[in-house]
Structure 1
Amino acid sequence: MNKILFLALALVVASCHKKTKQTKAHTPVSIESIIEKNANLLLQDKRFHSLSIGIYKNGKKVIRHFGELKIGEGIPPNDSTIYELASVTKTFLGTLAAKAVLEQKIKLQDDIRKYLPQPYPNLAFEQSPITIQHLLTHTSGFPNFPPDGDSKAGFWEGLKQLNIKDKPGSRYRYSNTAPEVMAYILEKVYQKPYETLLQEYILNPLQMKQTSFVLDQQAKKRLVKGYNGDNQLMPNFERKLWGGMGGLHATVGDMLKYAKYHLNESNQVVKTSHQAFFETPYDFEIGYYWNILKNAETTVYRHHGGIFGMQNWFMLYPKHQLGISIFTNVSFERTGEVLEKVAGKIYDQIIEMQ
């Protein structure tokens, strides 16, 4: 009798345990809950004050905001909040460059000096010229920042001072100078201001109405004023050149429109802009300014943007029809690294949902 009772109890316990495991395994997980979980964990790090996260997945858009834009006021960002894209702006330039290549306005192997307003015999290494492809891959040999970035006239004079120390195309060296030259070249071949090209070929077709270089007075009120690592308010970036290196402003919602566009690789401009040209000594290839990471499971096209008082990551996973845009209103030495890990966790957890 006792043995029968014991076996019966054991079966009941096992059954309950099985049901508990099944219930746990089928606990519904949503993109919203994944965002909230990771955002709340990040904001336990008191160096961070606010966070905006946007996810595009298979046609669905989810945007959530957390924390406070101004320390002590408790007011979070919202869907109208405007951020600085910083270097993520370069991906827009790369997209326009891909369009120009397809339209045969430029060729990847063109010597850039054929497009410049003055002779620059110094912009070569021995007999090896700098090409369009070198501009697009940070392998031109140009320095990170131009000798004079305060005006376009000063920019061109400053280029005369440069000494190219490596054969172009041989070494990855991140440059904010090269994208400004690229933006100018696009202006010249299209005979339109770079800002107009961006508006006509990307922003207007995608209905990115909250994205621009120049903000009116109402938009400026929605622009984030960010902090450095010492919680000091930092100035916003002031664009003085063409805007190739950075300077665009956007909402998270607009960035998800941009994600949707770039996840459609049947679009020839998108497909072209996702080509890889150079393998860096790090963990990625580069082409048309996208950092391209590949493994057995997926390929991600991504770019980081960091400026005085805010940072962001923009990531695209075409295989999974997934885009991630994440912003914070603080900029200290390792902000980008921390945000990158958060975006990686969000990706992993969304893929596990499937």
Structure 2
Amino acid sequence: MKHSEKLLPTVIGAAVAAFVMLPTAAAHATPADEHPATRTALNTLQAAAGPGAAVHAGDGTTSWTLSAGTGTINTTKSIQSDEHFRIGSQTKTFTAATVLQLVDEGRVSLDTDIDTYLPGTVTGNGYDGTRITVRHLLQHTGGIAAYDPMVSLGLAEPDGTYKLATLVKEGLKRSPVSAPGAGFTYSNTNYLILGMLIEKLTGAPVHKAVTSRIIEPLGLARTVFPAPGNRALPAPAVNGYHGVRIGSFYFWTPVISYDPSVFSSAGAMISTLEDLGTFYQALTAGRVVSAAALEEMEKAPDVTGGIYGLGVFRTALSCGGEAWGHNGGVAGYHSQTLVTKDGRRASVMTNAFLGTNPPAQQMATVLDTALCEDQS
């Protein structure tokens, strides 16, 4: 999620580092002579990223996994495609899909102002909730300033959890950056407000609503929207790290535990490379929301650079065509998933989030290569 991730890839220099290319476990093994271009791209990513990196890709009938480096420092344990990790802002696509289901049910309208549903929530400090629509929130075009929930660590409840309303109030202390609809500013506050909307309309906590509406129907057995207070990363898990890379030198320390409710509907979820591919494939195939709702999700207007829709972004592929997906960065992890309309999918992750120098371009190259390598 945006802590402090770059939504769109930025070119950064690849650091040179020592790393080891490791095979995946037998259930997911890929012969060493297959997908050589993707292997090269993954090596480059891992050399600029965390202790390890992995990509899981395929189409509607086959899949494969490549891994480089390690999922646990001081070991040769490669990252597996069925291991849990925190997905950060890829949570936003699940949140957006839940809102679009409510649109399908006639319980919310994309172009109705948020004040109609949450009176008085988006107000003050220059904000006017009667001018900011649900669509604006989903598309980050409401003028709400960028906000990192990690600055709210001192706002925890006595039990250490965080309330959406508290996080939203904190986010709205930052003044508007544009008039509603006039600009694109990626802000977690938008999706925290949408979490409040989901709770208001469903009568359920947002983690339960997303679980019952998206996770369970799709059979995503290793995807979790943790309840407030649940800090555990289910086994098997990829260990996440803090650290730095300077040339060939790097230093890693394990991520300090935090309560995921500080990110909530903007970035609290846990999943695997396999489950993420399954989710995005189902979404783009029309098995999560209606065809009409999916069409709305995939409208990326000029104000967003023609890239960001409603909880998903579009990227052009080097082999032609386009793919849809989202990225996510949170303490310990950086990940991204892309899928195409013809059923190709690719999910990639590394087990460190280098907030000041994220390997966004290297990650984008891995995904593009994985989706395009076998295309004639």
| Shared fold (TM-score, shorter chain, > 0.5) | yes
- Is the partner of 2:78 in helix, strand or coil? coil
In the TM superposition, residue 326 of structure 1 has moved relative to its aligned partner by 0.4
Q: In structure 2, do the counterparts of structure 1 residues 163 and 36 end up closer, same or farther at CA, with 3 Å as the change threshold?
A: closer
Q: In structure 2, do the counterparts of structure 1 residues 235 and 350 end up closer, same or farther at CA, with 3 Å as the change threshold?
A: farther
- Contact 2:145–2:175 (Cα < 8 Å) also in 1: no
Map 1:111-190 → 2, pairs under 5 A: 111-116=113-118, 118=120, 120-122=122-124, 129-145=131-147, 148=152, 150=155, 151-152=162-163, 153-158=165-170, 161-190=173-202
Q: In structure 2, do the counterparts of structure 1 residues 275 and 118 end up closer, same or farther at CA, with 3 Å as the change threshold?
A: same
Residue of structure 1 equivalent to 2:243: 228
Which amino acid is 2:67 matched to?
H
Map 1:201-240 → 2, pairs under 5 A: 201-214=213-226, 219=234, 222-230=237-245, 231-233=251-253, 234-235=255-256, 238-240=259-261
In the TM superposition, residue 218 of structure 1 has moved relative to its aligned partner by 7.5
Q: Distance in 1 between matches of 2:224 and 2:129?
A: 40
Query: For 1:280-328, what per-residue CA distance to the aligned partner results, in whole angstroms no more than 9, with x for missing partners?
Result: 464x43221111235894122121111222211110111x311110011
- Contact 1:306–1:331 (Cα < 8 Å) also in 2: yes
Q: Distance in 2 between matches of 1:123 and 1:30?
A: 59
Which amino acid is 1:225 matched to?
G
- Is the partner of 2:335 in helix, strand or coil? strand
Among 191, 194, 207, which residue is 2:206 paired with?
194
Structure 2: stretches of 5+ with no match in the other structure: 1-30, 156-161, 246-250
In the TM superposition, residue 250 of structure 1 has moved relative to its aligned partner by 0.8
Q: In structure 2, do the counterparts of structure 1 residues 218 and 244 end up closer, same or farther at CA, with 3 Å as the change threshold?
A: closer
- Is the partner of 2:204 in helix, strand or coil? coil
2:93 matched to 1:91? yes
Which amino acid is 1:246 matched to?
G
TM-score, with structure 2 as normaliser: 0.75
Q: In structure 2, do the counterparts of structure 1 residues 47 and 163 end up closer, same or farther at CA, with 3 Å as the change threshold?
A: closer
Map 1:303-318 → 2, pairs under 5 A: 303-318=326-341
In the TM superposition, residue 84 of structure 1 has moved relative to its aligned partner by 1.0
2:255 matched to 1:248? no
In the TM superposition, residue 120 of structure 1 has moved relative to its aligned partner by 4.7
**Which structure's CA Rg is the greater one?**
1
- Contact 1:112–1:131 (Cα < 8 Å) also in 2: yes
Deviates more, 1:173-182 or 1:251-260: 251-260
- Contact 2:313–2:324 (Cα < 8 Å) also in 1: yes
Q: Distance in 1 between matches of 2:327 and 2:290?
A: 22
Which amino acid is 2:359 matched to?
T
Residue of structure 2 equivalent to 1:23: none
Map 1:54-65 → 2, pairs under 5 A: 54-65=56-67
Query: How many residue pairs align between the two structures?
Result: 322
- Is the partner of 1:75 in helix, strand or coil? coil
Q: In structure 2, do the counterparts of structure 1 residues 126 and 104 end up closer, same or farther at CA, with 3 Å as the change threshold?
A: closer
Q: Distance in 1 between matches of 2:37 and 2:282?
A: 24
Q: Distance in 1 between matches of 2:55 and 2:292?
A: 26
Q: Distance in 1 between matches of 2:172 and 2:178?
A: 17
Q: In structure 2, do the counterparts of structure 1 residues 293 and 342 end up closer, same or farther at CA, with 3 Å as the change threshold?
A: closer
Deviates more, 1:267-276 or 1:67-76: 267-276
- Is the partner of 2:214 in helix, strand or coil? helix
Q: Distance in 2 between matches of 1:307 and 1:52?
A: 17
- Is the partner of 2:209 in helix, strand or coil? helix
Q: In structure 2, do the counterparts of structure 1 residues 71 and 270 end up closer, same or farther at CA, with 3 Å as the change threshold?
A: farther
Q: Distance in 1 between matches of 2:170 and 2:122?
A: 11
Query: For 1:233-275, what per-residue CA distance to the aligned partner results, in whole angstroms no more than 9, with x for missing partners?
Result: 2335532357221011112221222133124137643662333
Deviates more, 1:329-338 or 1:296-305: 296-305
In the TM superposition, residue 133 of structure 1 has moved relative to its aligned partner by 0.6
Bigger fraction of residues in helix: 1
Deviates more, 1:142-151 or 1:338-347: 142-151
Q: Distance in 2 between matches of 1:347 and 1:61?
A: 11
Residue of structure 2 equivalent to 1:336: 360
Residue of structure 2 equivalent to 1:11: none
Query: For 1:160-208, what per-residue CA distance to the aligned partner results, in whole angstroms no more than 9, with x for missing partners?
Result: 6454352101100110111000111011111111111111111111111
Q: Distance in 2 between matches of 1:62 and 1:347?
A: 12
Residue of structure 1 equivalent to 2:22: none
2:372 matched to 1:351? no
Map 1:259-278 → 2, pairs under 5 A: 259-265=280-286, 268-269=289-290, 272-273=293-294, 274-278=297-301
Q: In structure 2, do the counterparts of structure 1 residues 171 and 128 end up closer, same or farther at CA, with 3 Å as the change threshold?
A: farther
- Is the partner of 1:312 in helix, strand or coil? strand
- Is the partner of 1:351 in helix, strand or coil? coil
- Is the partner of 2:101 in helix, strand or coil? helix
Q: Distance in 1 between matches of 2:102 and 2:71?
A: 39
Higher relative contact order (CA 8 A, sep 6+): 2
Map 1:14-93 → 2, pairs under 5 A: 35-43=38-46, 45=47, 47-93=49-95
Q: Distance in 2 between matches of 1:40 and 1:161?
A: 42
Task: Give me the identity figure in percent.
Answer: 17
Which amino acid is 1:212 matched to?
V
- Contact 2:327–2:337 (Cα < 8 Å) also in 1: yes
Query: For 1:5-39, what per-residue CA distance to the aligned partner results, in whole angstroms no more than 9, with x for missing partners?
Result: xxxxxxxxxxxxxxxxxxxxxxx998655544543
TM-score, with structure 1 as normaliser: 0.79
